[in-house]
Amino acid sequence: MVALLLAATLVVPGGYAFLALALSVAGLSWRAGLLPSWKDAWTRPGVRWLVLGIAGYVVAYVLVGIVHGYKIQYYEPLIPFFLAPFMLAGARRWLPAQRSVWLGFAFGALLAGFMAWFQVYHEGIARAHGAHGNAIPFGHIALLLSGASLCGYLYFHRRQDHWVYQTVCLAGVGAGFVASFLSGSKGGWFAIFLIFFVWAWRVTARRPLRVRLAYLTAIVLLFPALLWFAPRELVWDRLIGGLDGAVHWLSNGGITEGSVSIRLEIWRFGLAQFWERPVFGWPQSEAISAMRAHLRQFDISDVLANLGTFDNLLVETLMSAGFVGLAGLVCLFVGVLTTFGARYLSEDDDHRELALAGMLITVFVLGYGLSVNVLGINAFRQVYLSWAALWLALSLWSPASWIRPDKSGYTDPSPSSGGS
């Protein structure tokens, strides 16, 4: 079941919320085991960092809302954060087999890649958007699926598991790239380089240092080659146009296109405004109105009506929440990253890929936040919290014993695991 929920992430309307909803309901309805699960999790290394990180973000968010006098609708984005402990308990109740989880991510990436190809080359849509209606969340979350598929491949590869599983996960890595390229969401493409880097470093873990460095060098050279074969209008034209816009903005401050140069100007304006109210920032409506008023001096009337965000998580936080909001943001990401980092360093190899996945999703979302206000989009919040809860629960409670497959055949690697 968990595998099906993960596979539906980008290809079913609202699919990104299915896992979060299912885990929350399972946790809320599990009265007998809810408190023991929380107590057990609290005693494990690193988990308290996660709790403190989420709590710090929620407290900062509420303080800003009180100061600015926001209505109750302002607090709606906090719902997934309040449900995070129940998601953890729900994952503990289900406790799916790791094999099912990794394959679910891989199938989700494969479906996303196919849907992106179908939309662009069969339906003639300019930029693939999956079931989201928005190319940016679709392309970015496709790369999260790709990164999770990478961790699945590393899991099956380390265990010398069936070659079919390894192949499916590698195909999922590539399909996530395809979906992202066809979405044209270039703000998240650094994640592709990071996926290659992590793959080379982990697969060559037992090789001599010179071999590992040779692999990394090959990856650095392969990345531009991969872009070369990508669709010209969706990748190269957008990269060149964005680079040209950045050069013009740096030289004369002009806005020449609706992607890079306009973002640079918005960020510059937002940071300048932040220093006028550095503690709690500006009310959101005033911040957006001031941004639009500032941009009217440029010839961008065709895109001005759609601008309702600063397209940068850091700038948006500083502008509308000040240093208080920034402190909450740091708590959230440092808390999650520290939790999975501690588990990566302290746990045995059987759970290492789960910890690696938790660190990667945090770094990816932070990277996405440089070009989009990720926590202002429901899909990113749901995915970030539900996947982190699932991986943490598996690293805390999934069985660590497994049977190495015989080279002459295939043996179930996790006979003692729960169902999927």
The three-state DSSP-derived secondary structure of the chain is CHHHHHHCCCCCCCHHHHHHHHHHHHHHHCHHHHHHHHHHHHCCCCHHHHHHHHHHHHHHHHHHHHHHCCCHHHHHHHHHHHHHHHHHHHHHHHCCCHHHHHHHHHHHHHHHHHHHHHHHHHCCCCCCCCCCCCHHHHHHHHHHHHHHHHHHHHHHHHCCCCHHHHHHHHHHHHHHHHHHHHHCCHHHCHHHHHHHHHHHHHHCCCCCHHHHHHHHHHHHHHHHHHHHCCCHHHHHHHHHHHHHHHHHHHHHCCCCCCCHHHHHHHHHHHHHHHCCCCCCCCCHHHHHHHHHHHHCCCCCHHHHCCCCCCCCHHHHHHHHHHHHHHHHHHHHHHHHHHHHHHHHHHCCHHHHHHHHHHHHHHHHHHHHCCCCCHHHCHHHHHHHHHHHHHHHHHHHHCCCCCCCCCCCCCCCCCCCCCCC
Would you state the pLDDT for residue 407?
39
Contact 40, 159 (CB under 8 A): no
Name residue, tokens 């699919």. Answer: 15
Here the tokens at position 315 are 């700038």
* Cα(151)–Cα(160) distance, integer angstroms: 14
Contact criterion met (CB below 8 Å) for 142 and 180: yes
Q: How far, in Å, CA of 374 to CA of 380, rounded?
A: 6
Q: How many CA atoms lie within 13 A of 395 on its CB side?
A: 31
52-64: average pLDDT: 96
Angstrom CA distances, 10 to 1, 6, 114, stand at 16, 9, 11
Q: In terms of pTM, does the model score above 0.75?
A: yes
d(CA 353, CA 398): 13
* Predicted confidence (pLDDT) per residue in 16-29, tens digit: 999 999 999 999 99
Q: How confident is the model over 263-306, as pLDDT tens digits?
A: 888 888 888 888 999 999 999 888 888 888 887 777 766 555 55
Whether 102 and 413 have beta carbons less than 8 Å apart is answered as no
Residue 413: is its pLDDT beyond 90? no
pLDDT tens figures, 192-237? 888 887 877 777 777 788 887 887 787 777 766 666 666 666 666 6
Q: How do residues 346-389 score in pLDDT, each as one tens digit?
A: 766 678 899 999 999 999 999 999 888 999 899 999 999 999 99
Do the beta carbons of residue 87 and residue 386 sit within 8 Å?
Answer: yes
At 299-333, the pLDDT tens digits run 766 555 556 677 889 989 999 999 999 999 999 99
pLDDT value for 306 = 59
Stated as kind and residue range, the H or E segment containing 193 is: helix 190-203
Question: What does the alpha-carbon distance between residue 359 and residue 346 come to, in Å, rounded to a whole number?
Answer: 14
Residue 298: alpha-carbon gap to chain centroid: 33
